[in-house]
Each structure stands twice: as structure tokens, then as C-alpha cells.
């Protein structure tokens, strides 16, 4: 809620502005900054400005907001020309949400006009003594507000038809009341925005997991008839003497009394056709078992993901909400500041080191001997670490996902496929006098994989 002119009058009357020095200016975003002030009576104190927002205000505060990563042109000007000056006068424009600070140093006197309007009139403007614009927060040519132009400052002679009063307040001062109230409103607004972003993040993750579950169920359904392959193989084994090379199929009596027709490869001998049937059975059975395991893991992951977000949103802790949202936009570092990309794939935790420095840190500080290390052959790229689980072997689909991640974060990405090798971390040895992070694997196993970009996007969210 923005201030009215009477509230601004009360705020300014409480501030020890005259005689205070501006020691430092800190920008928070394109709308706000803080003056670090000093006076003989008050010592160090902070003055917060917020301009051109629904909560435009100037207020004494007891906390320094987060510093902006970049600095706007206007803030750079303020730091160069305002810091170190003394406030010698404060003048509020009559019946208006605007005021002028007169600022002096040993060389000259300038003015800072602050307008806390809600529309396009909102601005902060640095003026010379004759009201020439030296710099301004927002350039507005249509209003004649440009650097080098003379600013015409109009002052009202009455309040107008609308009558304003100071809102009801409590506390030691109106400044502390406004600062506390706006902070609470900002926290509530921030919390609402964080919950919204978190809900969107949850929906994206659940959508990706449910899409993965659908594909796993399709794969499971396609191999669900592996028992039929075994029945056909067992039947052919019982009547192998009736089969001949060159036959395209053979019809035999099944064990249940029904007739069964078995397709054959005419180029193969009866024994080779029989082995082919058993191979198909073994392959389909293993694929079906893996698909079933994957379905169970994905269903567990969906449930744990849903519960995780439900608990976060229900608890409503601003700190935890910020931490979880930061995880999606951390630029490769986890919420605790650790290097590398960290993901969980079908219940298996992975760490991806994309640079030599990250690789070295991860290998030295975050791996155990039983963890799996994977890397592309003949191409520079990431180390992918699959964290081990006691008594469990990493399943093939998880290895293939790790391979896709390794290819994605390597120079083999443009080829869309690569040969990789992997081994347990305990079988790595550092190259003598080698570069940072360089290791030589032993007892490695080989893997050829194609990059599945869609799957990578799912994993990385």
C-alpha cells in the first residue's frame, strides 16, 4: 500500500535527515536502493527507497536488503556524485507525495527530488541548483524529463477534493510501523509467489515422471508374453526331430492339447531356431523384469515427490520454499552450494561434474570406493558419478540414463552417441603430474549408448 502525502509528511518528520551524511548507496533492484546514513546524534542508520511500485515509499529501516547482482546507470551516478554528501535541507512539496533533499559537499550543492507516485510520474531525479536535470532514475522524454533539460517543479496550493489522513498505526514510530508492515506484506507476497512457482515445478516433475511411467508400462506390456516364447521353445524342443532347415513354420501339439504354430527362420537349422527362441525368451523375460522394477521405482518416486511438495507447501516455511525454488535455477550448484549437477534417477543419486575443478572436488570429497564413475571415451566431458547402494547392482536403464547425461555434458553431444567406460571409483588412479581431475580407470567396462535428449530434459527438469 503506497503512502499518502500526510503519511509521507509524518515519515519525514521522524527522520534525522538534516545533518546526516550519505556514506554508501546499495541497489537492490531497478526500483529500490538503500542509503547508509550517519549522523552525530543517531550514528549509523539506514534509509530505504522504493519507487514506481504499488508500495512506493521512503522509510527508515533496520535491515539491509539483498544487494543486486548488477548496478543500474542511475545507481552508478548516485555512488559517484551523492556518496559523501551532507543533507542540509529537506522539503516536502505541499500536499504531495514528493520531497527534495538538498545535498552539499565542499565543492557544490545539488538536489535529489523523489516522487513516490504510482503512475508514470514516479521518479528520482538529481538536479543542479538551477533545477537542470543531471541524472534521473527513469528517462521520460514525453514529460520533458531528460538529462540536461530544466525541470519545472510545480507545487500544489491545496489538497484538492480528496481528503487524506494517516492510517491507524502502532509501535515506536510511524517509520518502524511502515517498515514492519511492508516487510510482512512483502513476505506474504513472496511466499505466495514461491508456492506458485513450487507448484509449477511439482507439476512439471510429476508430468515427466508420469510420462516415464507410461512408457515403462508400454515396454512392460510389449514383453509380457515372454512365457509364450518359452512355451513355443519347449514345444519345439520336444519335436525337434520333426523340424527341417528351410521350414518357415511348424505346427505341433501343445502341452495343453491345443495345436501351436511356431514361426521358423528357414536359413537356420532346427537347433539354431530353438536357440533363437530361447534367446528371445530370456531377453523378453529380463526386459520385462527390469520394466517391472522400473515401474515400481517410478511409482514410488511419484508418490515421494508428491508427498515432498505437499509437506513443503503445508509447512509454508519461507526459508525452505526459497531453498527448494533455488534448486531449479541454481546454475549447477545444489542448494547447499556444492559444485556439480545433482539429480536422482529411478531412486539412484547421481553427481555430474562438468569441469575439471568440479570433477576433482567430487572425486576427492563426495565419492566412496563403491560408487560408479562413468565418462565418454575419446571425448572431453563430464564425470558422472552414480552413488552406490548396499547390496544392489545399478540396473541397465539407470546406466543408460547416466550415459545420456555423460554424452549431453561432453563434446560427443553433437554426434548423438558415444562409446563410454565405467568402473568403481576405487579402481581409478590419478595420473602422475596430470591435470586437475585427470584419472586413469582400471577394470573398466565398456558401453555404447545413444543420447536421449528427451530423457535428459526429464532428468534435469
User: Is the pLDDT reported for residue 271 higher than 90?
Assistant: yes
Q: Where are the domains of the chain?
A: 5-167, 190-324, 330-460
Cα distances from 199 to residues 192, 203, 218, 300, 311, in angstroms, run 11, 6, 28, 19, 12
Tell me what pLDDT residue 209 has.
Answer: 84
Tell me what pLDDT residue 332 has.
Answer: 40
**Shortest CA distance to 186 belongs to which of 3, 1, 49, 315?**
1
Residue 424 or residue 317, greater confidence: 424
Kindly state the percentage of the chain with pLDDT values over 70: 93
User: Is the pLDDT reported for residue 352 higher than 90?
Assistant: yes
- Distance of alpha carbon 414 from the chain centroid: 25
User: Is the pLDDT reported for residue 337 higher than 60?
Assistant: no
Do residues 109 and 172 touch, judged by C-beta distance below 8 A?
A: no
User: Is the pLDDT reported for residue 47 higher than 80?
Assistant: yes
Q: What is the pLDDT of residues 156-187, one digit of tens each?
A: 999 988 899 999 999 899 999 998 887 766 65
Which residue is it, cell 515432498?
308
As a whole number of angstroms, the distance between CA 277 and CA 385 comes to: 37
Tell me what pLDDT residue 220 has.
Answer: 83
Split at pLDDT 50, 70, 90, the class of 329 is very low
Do residues 116 and 98 touch, judged by C-beta distance below 8 A?
A: yes
Tell me what pLDDT residue 331 has.
Answer: 38
Lowest mean pLDDT among 16-25, 198-207, 412-421: 198-207
C-alpha cell at 402: 547416466
What would the mean pLDDT of 103-119 be, rounded to a whole number? 93
Residue 102 or residue 258, greater confidence: 102
Tell me what pLDDT residue 403 has.
Answer: 95
Do residues 265 and 276 touch, judged by C-beta distance below 8 A?
A: yes
Tell me what pLDDT residue 187 has.
Answer: 59
Cα distances from 291 to residues 167, 184, 220, 365, in angstroms, run 65, 50, 5, 34
Split at pLDDT 50, 70, 90, the class of 333 is very low
What would the mean pLDDT of 422-445 be, rounded to a whole number? 85
Vertex 295: Cα angle to 289 and 300 (nearest 5)? 130
Tell me what pLDDT residue 275 has.
Answer: 92
Kindly state the percentage of the chain with pLDDT values over 90: 52
CATH number of 5-167: 2.30.310.10
Q: Please classify residue 431 by burial: count the beta carbons closer than 10 Å to its beta carbon, then call 0-12 exposed, 13-18 middle and 19+ buried.
A: exposed
User: Is the pLDDT reported for residue 453 higher than 80?
Assistant: yes
C-alpha cell at 133: 536535470
Tell me what pLDDT residue 167 has.
Answer: 92
Evaluate whether the domain defined by 190-324 bears CATH number 1.10.287.
yes
Cα distances from 159 to residues 86, 93, 114, 155, in angstroms, run 31, 11, 19, 11
What would the mean pLDDT of 68-72 be, rounded to a whole number? 90
User: Is the pLDDT reported for residue 297 higher than 80?
Assistant: no
As a whole number of angstroms, the distance between CA 419 and CA 363 comes to: 22
Do residues 246 and 223 touch, judged by C-beta distance below 8 A?
A: no
Strand bridging mode 348-353 / 32-39 = unpaired
Tell me what pLDDT residue 189 has.
Answer: 60
What would the mean pLDDT of 88-96 be, rounded to a whole number? 96
User: Is the pLDDT reported for residue 213 higher than 90?
Assistant: no
User: Is the pLDDT reported for residue 206 higher than 90?
Assistant: no
User: Is the pLDDT reported for residue 334 higher than 50?
Assistant: no
Tell me what pLDDT residue 402 has.
Answer: 94
Give the per-residue SS3 of the chain.
CCCCHHHHHHHHHHCCCCCCEEEEEEEEECCEEEEEEEECCCEEEEEEEECCCCCCEEEEECCCCCCCCCCCHHHHHHHHHCCCCEEEEEEECCCCCEEEEEEECCCCEEEEEEECCCCCCCEEEEECCCCEEEEECCCEHHHCECCCCECCCCCCCCCCCCCCCCCCCCCCCHHHHHHHHHHHHHHHHHHHHHHHHHHHHHHHHHHHHHHHHHHHHHHHHHCCCHHHHHHHHHHHHHCHHHCCCCCCEEEEECCCCCEEEEECCCCCCHHHHHHHHHHHHHHHHHHHHHHHHHHHHHHHHHHHHHHHHHHHHHHCCHHHHHHHHHCCCCCCCCCCCCCCEEEEECCEEEEEECCHHHHHHHHHHCCCCCCEEEEECCCCECEEEECCCCCCCCCHHHHHHHHHHHHHCECCHHHCEEEEEEEEHHHEEECCCCCCCCEEECCCEEEEEECCHHHHHHHHC
Residue 123 or residue 206, greater confidence: 123
Q: What is the pLDDT of residues 144-159, one digit of tens each?
A: 899 999 999 989 999 9
Amino acid at each position: 500500500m503506497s503512502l499518502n502525502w500526510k503519511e509521507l509528511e509524518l515519515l519525514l518528520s521522524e527522520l534525522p535527515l538534516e545533518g546526516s551524511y550519505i556514506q554508501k548507496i546499495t541497489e537492490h533492484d531497478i526500483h529500490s536502493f538503500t542509503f547508509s546514513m550517519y549522523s552525530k546524534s543517531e550514528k549509523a542508520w539506514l534509509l530505504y527507497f522504493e519507487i514506481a511500485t504499488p508500495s512506493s515509499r521512503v522509510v527508515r529501516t533496520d535491515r539491509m536488503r539483498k544487494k543486486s547482482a548488477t548496478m543500474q546507470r542511475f545507481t552508478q551516478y548516485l555512488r559517484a556524485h551523492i556518496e559523501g554528501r551532507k543533507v542540509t535541507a529537506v522539503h516536502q512539496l505541499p500536499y504531495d507525495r514528493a520531497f527534495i533533499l538538498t545535498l552539499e559537499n565542499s565543492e557544490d550543492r545539488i538536489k535529489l527530488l523523489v516522487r513516490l507516485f504510482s503512475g508514470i510520474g514516479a521518479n528520482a531525479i538529481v538536479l543542479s541548483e538551477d533545477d537542470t536535470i543531471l541524472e534521473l532514475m527513469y528517462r521520460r522524454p514525453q514529460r520533458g524529463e531528460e538529462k540536461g533539460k530544466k525541470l519545472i517543479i510545480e507545487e500544489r496550493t491545496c489538497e484538492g477534493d480528496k481528503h487524506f489522513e494517516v492510517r491507524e498505526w502502532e509501535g515506536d514510530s510511524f517509520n518502524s510501523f511502515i517498515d514492519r508492515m511492508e516487510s510482512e506484506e512483502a513476505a506474504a507476497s513472496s511466499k505466495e509467489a514461491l508456492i506458485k512457482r513450487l507448484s509449477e515445478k511439482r507439476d512439471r516433475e510429476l508430468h515427466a515422471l508420469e510420462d516415464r511411467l507410461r512408457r515403462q508400462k508400454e515396454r512392460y506390456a510389449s514383453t509380457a508374453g515372454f512365457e509364450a516364447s518359452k512355451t513355443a521353445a519347449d514345444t519345439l524342443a520336444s519335436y525337434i526331430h520333426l523340424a527341417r532347415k528351410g521350414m518357415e513354420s511348424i505346427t505341433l501339439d501343445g502341452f495343453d492339447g491345443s495345436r501351436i504354430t511356431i514361426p521358423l527362420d528357414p536359413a537356420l537349422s532346427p537347433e539354431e531356431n530353438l536357440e533363437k527362441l530361447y534367446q528371445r525368451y530370456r531377453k523378453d523375460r529380463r526386459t520385462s523384469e527390469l520394466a517391472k522394477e522400473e515401474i515400481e521405482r517410478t511409482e514410488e518416486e511419484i508418490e515421494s515427490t508428491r508427498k515432498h511438495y505437499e509437506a513443503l507447501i503445508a509447512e509454508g516455511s519461507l526459508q525452505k520454499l526459497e531453498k527448494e525454488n533455488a534448486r531449479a535455477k541454481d546454475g549447477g550448484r545444489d542448494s547447499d552450494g556444492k559444485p556439480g549437477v545433482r539429480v536422482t534417477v529411478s531412486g539412484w543419486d547421481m553427481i555430474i561434474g562438468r569441469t575439471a575443478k568440479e570433477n576433482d572436488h567430487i572425486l576427492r570429497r563426495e565419492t566412496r570406493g563403491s560408487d560408479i564413475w562413468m565418462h565418454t571415451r575419446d571425448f572431453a566431458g563430464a564425470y558422472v558419478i552414480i552413488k552406490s547402494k548396499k547390496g544392489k547392482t545399478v540396473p541397465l536403464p539407470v546406466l543408460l540414463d547416466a550415459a545420456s547425461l555423460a554424452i549431453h555434458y561432453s563434446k560427443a553431444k553433437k554426434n548423438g552417441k558415444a562409446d563410454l567406460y565405467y568402473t568403481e571409483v576405487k579402481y581409478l588412479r590419478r595420473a602422475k603430474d596430470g591435470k586437475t581431475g585427470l584419472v586413469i580407470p582400471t577394470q573398466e567396462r565398456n558401453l555404447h549408448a545413444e543420447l536421449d535428449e528427451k530423457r535428459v530434459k526429464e532428468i534435469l527438469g
